[in-house]
């Protein structure tokens, strides 16, 4: 509804702090940059009972484990290996006691993709696998797993390639070629993509601004130690360099665009 309340922009620009680039370095990616993100719940039903009498139950933990295992084939066996995608089961909840077989289990998934076609293939596959494993377990229709795709869908971010290259050249002229690099796309999500998805005539780009302090960057290069990720409690960017670099880059981009 944003473009109904306000005029449609000709351009959309944004930057995001990076925990994998040295402070003061800009990273850019033409084309897909961030992924589609879906959250999916799978309610696994069963017939509970005593752990000493498993033959009298339909164990939802066993069924859930089968579903988790089968989901691993969605990306590895149903998608083109060159089509990036992720299906991660981030939570498996069930049971309360050592000797009680629960009536249900809950799987929480995050599903990542770039294209809308691949997204739909993954979501359809999750529903198919969950139902198929329930049938294989011998469950009646009313006890088959229930798959719910949550409403908090985030669409993929697509950087308009020609505009992105134009901005990268501008940043290079402004900051120097050693501080502007092309970087691979990521499977993280970012809702900035909605601006372009609403109207693909908009020239849209999001770029990374590195925040890793130089001493920590150098130490990681020498030792091979992993750097803290963006959402880690140990992530502490070089705020002054990030703000200065982002401000310089964004100002140069905006002033250049306004001068057209």
Please compute the mean of the pLDDT values over residues 202-206 and round it to a whole number: 97
Look at residue 260 in the predicted model and tell me its pLDDT. 84
* Domains of the chain (ranges, CATH numbers): 2-35+156-258 (3.40.630.10), 36-149 (3.30.70.360)
Please give the Cα distance from 9 to 4 (Å, whole number): 12
What sign for the dihedral angle of Cα 90, 95, 98, 103? negative
Task: Provide Rg for the chain, Cα atoms.
Answer: 23
Please compute the mean of the pLDDT values over residues 80-108 and round it to a whole number: 98
User: Residue 67, exposed/middle/buried by CB under 10 A (0-12, 13-18, 19+)?
Assistant: buried
Please compute the mean of the pLDDT values over residues 89-108 and round it to a whole number: 98
Instruction: Give the model's confidence band at 233: pLDDT under 50 very low, under 70 low, under 90 confident, else very high.
Output: very high
Look at residue 64 in the predicted model and tell me its pLDDT. 99
Q: Find the Cα–Cα–Cα–Cα dihedral 168, 173, 174, 175, rounded to 10°.
A: 80
pTM (global) more than 0.85:
yes
Look at residue 42 in the predicted model and tell me its pLDDT. 99
Q: C-alpha distances in angstroms, 163 versus 31, 91, 185, 253?
A: 10, 40, 17, 11
Provide the 3-class DSSP secondary structure of residue 39: strand
The answer, yes or no, to whether residue 146 has pLDDT greater than 80, is yes
The answer, yes or no, to whether residue 1 has pLDDT greater than 80, is no
Please give the Cα distance from 44 to 107 (Å, whole number): 8
Distance of CA 74 to the CA centre of its chain: 17
Look at residue 235 in the predicted model and tell me its pLDDT. 95
Q: 154 with 187: CB under 8 angstroms?
A: no
By C-alpha distance, which of 147, 148, 129, 133 is closest to 58?
133
Look at residue 145 in the predicted model and tell me its pLDDT. 99
User: What share of the chain has pLDDT > 70, as a percent?
Assistant: 100
The chain-wide mean pLDDT, for the chain, equals 97
Look at residue 2 in the predicted model and tell me its pLDDT. 84
Look at residue 147 in the predicted model and tell me its pLDDT. 99
Instruction: Give the model's confidence band at 24: pLDDT under 50 very low, under 70 low, under 90 confident, else very high.
Output: very high
Please compute the mean of the pLDDT values over residues 209-232 and round it to a whole number: 94
User: What share of the chain has pLDDT > 90, as a percent?
Assistant: 96
What sign for the dihedral angle of Cα 72, 80, 196, 125? negative
């Amino acid at each position: 509804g944003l473009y109904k309340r306000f005029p449609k922009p000709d351009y959309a620009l944004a930057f995001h702090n990076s925990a994998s680039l040295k402070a003061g370095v800009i990273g850019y990616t033409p084309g897909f940059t961030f992924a589609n993100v879906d959250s999916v719940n799978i309610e696994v039903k069963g017939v509970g009972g005593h752990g000493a009498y498993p033959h009298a139950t339909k164990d939802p933990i066993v069924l859930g484990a089968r579903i988790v295992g089968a989901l691993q084939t969605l990306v590895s066996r149903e998608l083109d290996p060159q089509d990036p995608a992720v299906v991660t089961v981030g939570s498996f909840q069930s049971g309360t006691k050592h000797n009680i077989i629960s009536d249900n289990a809950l799987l929480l998934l995050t599903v990542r993709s770039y294209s809308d076609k691949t997204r739909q293939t993954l979501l359809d596959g999750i529903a198919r696998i969950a139902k198929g494993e329930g049938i294989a377990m011998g469950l009646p229709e009313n006890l088959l797993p229930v798959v719910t795709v949550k409403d908090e869908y985030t669409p993929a971010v697509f950087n308009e390639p020609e505009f992105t290259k134009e901005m990268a050249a501008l940043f290079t002229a402004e900051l120097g070629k050693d501080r502007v690099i092309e970087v691979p796309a990521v499977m993280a999500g970012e809702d900035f993509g909605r601006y372009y998805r609403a109207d693909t005539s908009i020239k849209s780009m999001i770029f990374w601004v590195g925040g890793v302090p130089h001493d920590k960057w150098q130490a990681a290069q020498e030792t091979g130690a992993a750097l803290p990720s963006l959402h880690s409690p140990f992530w502490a960017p070089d705020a002054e360099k990030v703000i200065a670099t982002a401000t310089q880059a964004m100002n140069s981009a905006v002033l250049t665009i306004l001068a057209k």
